[in-house]
Amino acid sequence: MQTLQEQHPEVFSAFLAGYHVLRQSDRFWAGLSTDIVIEQTLMRSMKSVGGLTRGRGMGDSQQTQWLLSRPACADMNSGMQEVTGSENTTSGQHAESSQSRMRRDDEDMRSILNFLLSRDPFACDETLRSISTGVTADQIVNSDRAKEVGYTILESMKDNAVTDYTFRKKEQVVIMGVKASAKVDGLLRESDKAKLTDALVSAAAQESEKDIVDETSDIEYVLDGGSLLHRIPWRRSDTFVAIGQTYVEYVQRMYMKPRIVFDGYNDGPSNKDATHLRRSCGVVGPTIRFNPEMVCSARKEYFLANPNNKQAFVQYLGDVLEKDGCQVLMHKGM
């Protein structure tokens, strides 16, 4: 190829004119590059049964003989096909224009459109967001400005010796996979709920001795929505519809006509902020814009550690429970 222009100028001119493909048939769009043709002919015969890579004990001389005999073997193969009348032929129709391929392409296109419409990637603020998982990037993420960051690093390397220059982590690109966390310190002491529970049980026992409860009367249950959130485990492969249905089935199985009270989680400072920080252990999960049909790709602990995620899921779960006949109360933050 290096001496092609001098030894075979006509072939060199054909290459420059664009005639650099090979054809094994007269079908439309059947022109292939030389490396692909080699893979489909020579390499295919080497890797098939009886080929060069399927035998044992083949030295250099045997390999050379095998390679040099391939043209003669190909001529013999073509002659046997003509004699027996079993020549392999293909249809003149291109594979991409068949009915099955067009039907599959149409199904794939509709799947992509439904995927994008369910997530609505263009109806959001200016923050970066993953279309597949709905995770919203933190303010420190600058992967969309990677080119600018790279030029800044190159500019800072000028007039510096290689041994003296150090790549600083704070100057590099920050991707969405970086987990944010907050330092938890100086919180209020945790309340002793065990003593409070004992006092409530003791008071309820005293009242039950005074008044006889009619067993036929309706019993109303009041559930703590925050406790209910953490009681049901989430599976990573479930959609939010399936997760909501799990809560509905649990409430139906355990209670009759319950009233479920949820706290507010993003309405400003609250007297439960210290408890929320203590439970999260400083973990700050990313904001995820989800819809019911989306698969939950994050762990429940990280998902609920973000107050925006928690409030959005509480609102969704409240609507699902109300449709099932439960009475849901959304308490605003204090």
Give the model confidence (pLDDT) of 210-226 as tens digits: 554 455 456 778 888 88
- What confidence score (pLDDT) does residue 57 get? 58
Residue with tokens 């769009």: 29
Q: Which residues in the chain belong to E strands, given as ranges?
A: 21-22, 32-33, 135-136, 180-181, 222-224, 259-262, 283-284, 287-288, 327-330
- What confidence score (pLDDT) does residue 198 get? 77
- What confidence score (pLDDT) does residue 243 get? 94
- Cα separation, 218 vs 220, whole angstroms: 6
Type of residue at 91: S
CA dihedral of residues 75, 81, 84, 89 (deg, nearest 10): -160
- What confidence score (pLDDT) does residue 151 get? 92
Rg (CA), the chain: 35
- What confidence score (pLDDT) does residue 334 get? 40
Cα dihedral sign, 42-45-47-53:
negative
Domain ranges of the chain: 4-54+63-83, 142-175, 193-210+217-330
Give the model confidence (pLDDT) of 151-173 as tens digits: 999 898 888 888 888 888 888 88
Reduced to 3 states, what is the DSSP secondary structure of residue 44? helix
- What confidence score (pLDDT) does residue 291 get? 84
Type of residue at 10: E
- What confidence score (pLDDT) does residue 179 get? 60
- Cα separation, 68 vs 324, whole angstroms: 77
Q: What one-character-per-residue DSSP string does 68-134 give?
A: HTHHHHHHHHHHHHHHHT------SS-GGGSHHHHHHHHHHHHHHHHHHHHH-TTSS-SS-B-TTT-
- What confidence score (pLDDT) does residue 147 get? 92
- What confidence score (pLDDT) does residue 321 get? 92
- Cα separation, 18 vs 156, whole angstroms: 45
- What confidence score (pLDDT) does residue 256 get? 78
Q: Which residues contact 183 (CB under 8 A, 6 or more apart)?
A: 282
The segments of the chain whose pLDDT lies below 70 read 49-58, 87-95, 118-126, 178-194, 207-218, 264-284, 332-334
- What confidence score (pLDDT) does residue 29 get? 75
- What confidence score (pLDDT) does residue 1 get? 84
Label the pairing between strands 327-330 and 180-181: unpaired
Residue with tokens 């263009």: 122
